[in-house]
Amino acid sequence: MIEATELRRRARDLLAAHPPATTAPADFLAARFDAGLAWVHYPVGLGGLGAPRALQTVVDAELDAAGAPDNDPRRIGIGLGMAAPTILAHGTDEQKRRFLRPLWLGEEVWCQLFSEPGAGSDLAALGTRAVRDGDTWVVDGQKVWTSSAHLARWAILIARTDPDAPKHRGITYFLCDMTDPGVEVRPLRQITGEAEFNEVFLTGVRIPDSHRVGEVGDGWAIARTTLMNERVSIGGTPVPREGGMIGPVSRTWRERPELRTHDLHQRLLDLWVEAEVARLTGERLRQQLAAGRPGPEGSATKLSFARLNQQISGLEVELLGDEGLLYGEWTMRRPELVDFTGRDAGYRYLRSKGNSIEGGTSEVLLNIVAERVLGLPAEPRDDKDVPWKDLAK
């Protein structure tokens, strides 16, 4: 078993052989992956060394202190946080060799083709079909709310392959090449005026069976791996104190004493404390993840993240009065990154409305917390054993 001392030595060897000051970032990242220091808990040859996951922090600290480049985890967050752990857990050896290295290097951006306009919060009700034709699958359907689809080369995709099976058991998981014929990406303009999301139309898209992940019909179970990691990556992103939505409103409070009222003071104090609790809870979640135990608590953290953002941004608009209602830029933009705290108070207020929808609606997450964290009885379901094709749509 590799220990921290050995990992520290390997990191220093990497830095000596590829000094960050004189090595191109892409070359350094490639050398880091090949040295097994990308994600140390992954197997040898796939960017890791089979070391305990908790020791990743040892490597990260050595490389950060030396000013080594990172792989821009915000830009490729879907690949790093959702596609990679799913491929590692369920993919074939060929899929792991083909996809993990360019994904980690950031050479290939990923998106997630899960949500559909007709499925709403009940993702398992999806209607996109995949029909087998020899060694390929022909996919037809529509996805929505797809982040980074306009930038992505690859997508993780779930599609219905057996309409005669109950909705959770007739789904299969695929890796979809976004450059293939039949894939059309259209911008989806949001309330902020931006279009960071997309609609994706799939018309006769042919996916080779070698790009199927797991067994036919097992897609829902595999998708749960993706979704669990998604909520951890959204709700568990590390932030410094006052690094999230609470930061701008706290600065305004300090710099603009003329805006203060007693009522707003009490509400700001309450939200500041809640934000700090959420930040520390996220830190504990990351420690669980480092120990290899990403549990349903990620859903609670994401739920808290969404609720707090909306409350804090609402308070900021109230604090600023008429100034908080100004919104000067409606030009449609296609940002590469989600910017939760950027621009002005009006933008933050409007953008936060999406927090309770994206990455799992708050209603769905409340059910997960109730059933898997608190152990409460599951909601009654009348569609459990009914074929998907017979469900009301």
Backbone phi, psi, residue 239, to 5°? -135, 145
| b/e 364-386 (16+ beta carbons within 10 angstroms → b) | bbebbbeeeeeeeeeeeeebeee
Q: Under a CB-based contact definition with an 8 Å cutoff, are residues 319 and 253 in contact?
A: yes
Facing residues of 143 across strands? 200
Max intra-chain CA distance, the chain: 71
Helix %, strand %, coil % of the chain (to 5): 45, 15, 40
Q: What angle do CA 289, 293, 296 make, to 5 degrees?
A: 95
Q: What are the b/e assignments for 291-327, b being 16+ CB within 10 Å?
A: eeebeebbbbbbbbbbbbbbbbbbbbbbbbeeebeee
Residue 340 main-chain phi, psi, to 5 deg? -70, -30
Asked if 230 is an active-site residue, the reply is yes
Q: Which amino acid is at 362?
A: S
Catalytic annotation, pick one of 230, 297, 329, 371: 230
Residue type, 95: Q
Helix intervals (H) in the chain = 4-17, 25-34, 56-65, 77-78, 84-90, 93-105, 219-235, 246-255, 262-290, 297-320, 345-352, 362-368
DSSP classification of residue 121: T
Residues carrying an active site annotation: 230
